Structure 1
Amino acid sequence: MSEPTHAEYIAALIDLHRGLPRQGPGDPELTRQLLCRLPTLPAHPRIADLGCGSGAATLLLAKHYGSLVRAVDAAPDFIEELRDKAAAAGLDHLVEAVCTDMATLDWPRASIDLLWSEGAAYNLGFEQALRAWHPIVSTGGVAVVSEMSWFSDTVPDPARRFWESAYPTMGTEQQNIGRAETAGFSVVFTERLPSNAWWEHYYGPLRERMRRPDVAGMNQAVIRETEQEMALFERYSDCYGYTFYILQRP
């Protein structure tokens, strides 16, 4: 069987993640902790969640601040899921779900006080994403962006080979701090996502989904790579993972 095209691969990846509580690693309790540590924001901040998926962070942000959250994702399926979840939670008046490319937002300059993005910047490249988003963040505004990061300069070969193929520009935390500063942000602090959160909130539900009979007919290249990714993280999670970069526009 021939390898899938990029479009076919992305479609299969979206299909695999449809209906899951999250489309990437994260932890609601850590999110709440981070919100309590952010620099001071306006009483009703203007908020954006970029690469929102089906809205795990969107709904938490809307409830925490009681402010409108503009949630952006390029996958129509996830946007529809978010709209349904917001309505079910009674938060639909606080969620503006937008299906568009987060790389080409035509929003006014300085129109966002809190920009949130979990596990999505890699689609553009970390520094490229921050450069693209910098103009829409207000002076003194905050960007909270989680990014795959090496925790060590010494990485076992299997993990390095996998991620050099999957995400060639993946950097160390120090490199990413430098990239954020080059993009025009100051770094307030960083916080790693605990490895157990990957399993509890993302890999665990995803593994259960992969055991369902209907997944057997799905694109097997996606399944194989996902299984390989899980196996590597199980062995080498002390070497890499997601780091939250809490940034401020001076």
Structure 2
Amino acid sequence: MYRISALAHKVGLSRSTILYYEKLGLISSKRQANGYRNYSEQDVQQLKLLQQLQAGGLTLKECRACLEARIDRERLLQRLKVLDEEIAQKQKSRDLLCSMLGMTSMREWHQSIDKQAPLAHLNWLMKQGFSEKQALRLKWLSKDMNEHEQYMADFELIFEGLERLGPGDEIDSLQAINTIPVKSGELLDIGCGKGVVTILLAEQTQFSVTALDNDEYSLACLRESLDRKSQLGKVTAVCASMTDMSFSEHQFDVIWSEGSAYIMGVPQALEDWKPFIKEEGFLVFSDLVWLTESPENEVLKFWQQNYPDMVTVASRYQLIENAGYKIIDSFELSKQAWGNYLNPLTTKVKQLPQRDFTSQALEDIQSELEIHQKYLGQYGYQMFVLKKENKIRDNFRS
């Protein structure tokens, strides 16, 4: 026989827990003449069996049912399902902690959170010590804080010596330029990169061009090109963020952005850049869009991971109208524009030994090239030439 303190010690439970179990009828004591409770070896074994059932994830009520009658198989199967779901959630939590400690990759987490809350994701990355430039590159390229530095070194090695980071062609840019009725004033080229389009704009128009990018190396390449072409007096290079520009309100007759509005999100770009455009000024941008309402599963999955905000041309038209712009022209970039990007990149990738890359950068580029080879045409780049609607009409529409 065991007194309650001895029983509690033997089974590793508190005195109050044993009294509660006795109140539920799971065990029973015998009262001595002096009022002390005594418990038998059967109570010890009953409690140990109860503990094993609880270790299986059963509630106390379910444990009692198992002790008092035959096992309810359906009840246990339901409990097993609940436990499997809890284990899966716990594993996700564990995986996240491991990745944040640098023990595993964070790519899936970054992709998921950027799809759900892109602005919060960007702000969080900057709080982790990344500059805005680094955070934006992490968000769109490496997608992994733990390998970002090596990934970007590999990425830059892949694109070293290449003129373009995305599709584009002079003929397409000139078509957009010729659509705009004004050819002089002030033009802002946002996300200019190494300045291929910047130089074209300076050569083909009378605009004073401000070239903005957050990569000082790219701007240095632009300045070298301008020196060779004697266009430096016409172009001003500014190293700054497209998300936080310090220009004057209504400063520019035209804002130009080929292939870079996606960085901050097209809806945000349309809203944030509008105050810098003169009344009835112009905005020209290109964006990756779906050219079909029913893309194949493989390509859909790829772009959902790499550009989840990609929509159809019709959806972009609706967004543009709602943002207070009038569409002057819109056209798909030419095959030559894609060739200017893909052909040099494909050649370069074939020359690079896989063993020289420790990050996933080369593998990601190879996957992108494979997608382009198989599915280009189900999506493409669309050029949009927009006119900012005046305030009177904006107020009337609202």
TM-score normalised by length of structure 2:
0.59
| Offset from partner CA, 1:35-87 (integer Å, 9 cap, x none) | 1122x21x522011101110111000001113321111111211111111111
Q: Match of 1:86?
A: 226
Q: Match of 1:165?
A: 305
User: Is contact 1:187-1:245 (8 Å) kept?
Assistant: yes
Pair 1:35-2:206 in alignment:
no
Q: Match of 1:181?
A: 321
Which of the two has greater helix per residue? 2
Listed as ranges, the gaps of 5+ residues in structure 2 are: 1-102, 106-141, 390-398
Q: Match of 1:109?
A: 249
Which of the two has greater strand per residue? 1
Please state how far the C-alpha of 1:219 moved relative to its aligned partner. Answer: 5.1
Corresponding residue to 2:201 among 51, 61, 64: 61
Please state how far the C-alpha of 1:2 moved relative to its aligned partner. Answer: 5.7
| Offset from partner CA, 1:174-194 (integer Å, 9 cap, x none) | 111112222221111211012
Please state how far the C-alpha of 1:170 moved relative to its aligned partner. Answer: 0.7
Instruction: Tell which has more relative contact order, 1 or 2 (C-alpha 8 A, sep 6+).
Output: 1
Q: Match of 1:206?
A: 345
Paired residue secondary structure (2:303): helix
Paired residue secondary structure (1:46): strand
> What is the CA RMSD across the aligned residues, in angstroms?
2.0
Corresponding residue to 1:23 among 140, 165, 168: 165
| Structure-2 change in CA distance of 1:167 and 1:96 (3 Å) | same
User: Is contact 2:249-2:275 (8 Å) kept?
Assistant: yes
| Structure-2 change in CA distance of 1:125 and 1:59 (3 Å) | same
User: Is contact 1:19-1:81 (8 Å) kept?
Assistant: no
Question: For the residues of structure 1 that align with 2:373 and 2:358, how far apart are their CA atoms?
Answer: 23
Task: Give the paired residue count.
Answer: 247
Paired residue secondary structure (1:79): helix
Question: For the residues of structure 2 that align with 1:144 and 1:120, how far apart are their CA atoms?
Answer: 11
Q: Match of 1:235?
A: 374
Listed as ranges, the gaps of 5+ residues in structure 1 are: none
Paired residue secondary structure (2:249): coil
| Structure-2 change in CA distance of 1:11 and 1:238 (3 Å) | same
Identity %: 28
Q: Match of 1:52?
A: 192
Question: For the residues of structure 2 that align with 1:156 and 1:170, how far apart are their CA atoms?
Answer: 15
| Structure-2 change in CA distance of 1:218 and 1:112 (3 Å) | farther
After superposing the two structures, state which structure 1 stretch, 15-24 or 90-99, moved more: 15-24
| Structure-2 change in CA distance of 1:216 and 1:243 (3 Å) | farther
| Structure-2 change in CA distance of 1:63 and 1:218 (3 Å) | farther
